[in-house]
């Protein structure tokens, strides 16, 4: 047997034993993804139909303005008062 083959087997054995690594950023995104999607839907509706067409319960959501969808729209010149 060659050294390369032995190393290959050892690496393969170790690969199955690796601990699962969960990045904080991945967990952060996973926990907020649903609210960001809802906020994206609301912003799209406001852009298409106007803010006045949104129902009061839609305006009082727990989503924050720090989501990526709002940041992208602000970068394009969209304002909250529109």
- Mean pLDDT, contiguous 10-residue spans, the chain (82 residues): 73 67 85 89 91 82 57 65 46
pLDDT in tens, 13-33: 666 666 777 788 888 988 999
In the three-class reduction of DSSP (H, G, I as helix; E, B as strand; rest coil), residue 13 is classed as: helix
Closest CA to 40 of 82, 48, 25: 48
Query: Per the domain annotation, does 52 fall within a domain?
Result: yes
* Virtual torsion, Cα 33, 62, 54, 36, nearest 10 deg: -10
The confidence score (pLDDT) of residue 52 equals 86
Query: Per the domain annotation, does 82 fall within a domain?
Result: no
Query: Per the domain annotation, does 47 fall within a domain?
Result: yes
Query: Per the domain annotation, does 67 fall within a domain?
Result: yes
Q: The domain containing residue 41 runs over which residues?
A: 3-75
The confidence score (pLDDT) of residue 48 equals 93
Query: Per the domain annotation, does 63 fall within a domain?
Result: yes
The confidence score (pLDDT) of residue 74 equals 64
User: Are the beta carbons of 65 and 80 closer than 8 angstroms?
Assistant: yes
The confidence score (pLDDT) of residue 5 equals 76
Query: Per the domain annotation, does 80 fall within a domain?
Result: no
Query: Per the domain annotation, does 37 fall within a domain?
Result: yes
**What domain count does the chain have?**
1
Query: Per the domain annotation, does 12 fall within a domain?
Result: yes
């Amino acid at each position: 047997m060659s050294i390369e083959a032995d190393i290959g087997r050892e690496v393969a054995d170790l690969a199955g034993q690796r601990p699962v690594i969960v990045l904080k950023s991945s967990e952060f995104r996973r926990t907020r993804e649903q609210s960001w999607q809802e906020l994206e839907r609301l912003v799209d509706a406001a852009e298409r139909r106007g803010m006045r067409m949104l129902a009061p319960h839609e305006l009082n959501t727990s989503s924050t303005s720090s989501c990526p969808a709002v940041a992208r729209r602000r970068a394009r010149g969209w304002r909250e008062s529109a």
